[in-house]
Chains A and B, each alone.
Chain A
Amino acid sequence: MRYILSRRRLKKVEVNMTPMIDVVFQLMIFFMLTFNIIAPEGDFDVRMPLGKSSIEPPDELQLPPIQVRLSSSDDGVLAGILMNGEPVADYLDLRQRVASFVDVAIESGASPNDIELEIDCDYELDYINIIDAITAVSGRIEDGRLIEMIKKISFVPLKKMP
């Protein structure tokens, strides 16, 4: 009997939601204002101390670097690719040639870290070609796995200024 009476006295408690909604909306506005979409970026790490170039005679035990020449037209468009003096059709062809070069070098006992590649390009060439060339020679993706090829990449010193 006492229990029934006490239940009758219970009242519905109304929680005031206004402060919580205020805070929640302020948080949302903060996050919306600080929201910025950043495209994922990556790096090609290149170590280039001063004074290292193909002009210097290589060590006897060291493999001569692969020479990649990128020539451009006056407006910066790629005009031609040469690898060790031989013409290359495109970056895909360059990748295949470098891959076979690396395979032969490894079979003859060289370490992948010993293989160097030098990029020699015209001053006016669009920089996008440098990244395309580095992408072509630094590795390839097979079955979703990255197979690294050339790790040591350098530039031939500038010969002429515009």
Chain B
Amino acid sequence: MIRKSNGPAITENDMTPMIDVTFQLITFFMFVLNFSEAEQDERIQLPSSQLAKPAEGVVEAPITMQLMANGGVLYAGEIVPVEGIGGSLQRERDIIIAADKDPKRATVIVRADGRANAGDVQRVIQICQELGFQQFALRALYKPD
């Protein structure tokens, strides 16, 4: 007995649940999207503190100094010894002055690894002070207990 074929069946998939989930995913990613160009480097493990305050407003003329555990300063993508950072800072100072700003009001953000020598951090701050910088922000991970 030969069964008669009914012809090809057209299956209509319900796309609604998939679109719902996709839109929810997009909404999630939009909320967590961060366009800030925070200078962060995974080679530096910041110490944590429950009292470290997130920066209020825009920091004026920020200069970020990232000190690694081995003593080098990660600056503009290059590792520079602590004593060799003066030239780069001098250029930053010249740029700030050329932009009609005061180096005293510029903020030097110190992102130092928790295992870095405290003396190296102090030396970087001292070099900055000698070039006229006065405002420093010691950066730490904010971890409420």
Contact = CB atoms under 8 A, between A and B. Distances in A.
Interface of A: 17, 21, 24-25, 27-28, 31-32, 34-50, 70, 72, 76, 121-132, 134-135, 138-139, 141, 146, 155, 157-158, 161-162
Contact of A28 (B29, B40, B49, B145): B29
Contacts of B119: 121-125, 158, 161-162
A127 B113 contact: yes
B24 to A, nearest CB: 10
7 contacts: A35-B29, A48-B134, A121-B122, A130-B118, A130-B121, A158-B126, A162-B117
B38 interface: yes
A131 B134 contact: no
Interface in B75-127: 104, 109, 112-123, 125-126
Given A135-B50, A135-B51, A157-B122, 14 more contacts: A28-B25, A35-B33, A38-B34, A39-B141, A41-B139, A44-B49, A44-B51, A122-B119, A125-B118, A130-B138, A141-B50, A141-B145, A155-B125, A158-B123
Nearest to A20: B19
Nearest to A146: B51
Interface string B1-42: 000000000000001000100110110011011101010100
A17 B137 CA distance: 52
9 A-B pairs with the lowest CB-CB distances in the bound complex, closest first: A42-B52, A123-B119, A31-B29, A128-B114, A43-B137, A50-B129, A128-B47, A42-B142, A131-B47
